[in-house]
Structure 1
Amino acid sequence: MKKVWLVLDERSKRTEEKVMRLEDKVDSADIGIGLLDSRVSEMDKRRQQLSDDVAYL
């Protein structure tokens, strides 16, 4: 019976490690999405400004 608990404990630890790595990857992806969103917003503002400049000419 002790072996069964040992095996279950080891599996639980490995699963927990995998979940933690996956959570880290998801957090990194969220940060990347936030950075991309701000860059897209900046580029859109710049595009609008350039469009206004061309219309003025």
Structure 2
Amino acid sequence: TIVALDLYFNTKNKVKATLALAKGKNLHDKRETLKKKQADLEARAAMKNYK
């Protein structure tokens, strides 16, 4: 996947972009991320209800 990191206009009013090549996550990486998000959400809910 190509990602635009920076966009700007030069002196001739043309748009310049800095691009980067990114790689997607593997299935097990996605699962880890979802587990972390869920744990964080539950922790925040517990702290909110603690009062």
| Greater fraction of residues in helix | 1
**TM-score normalised by L of structure 2:** 0.49
| Greater fraction of residues in strand | 2
Q: Which has the higher contact order (CA 8 A, sep 6+)?
A: 2
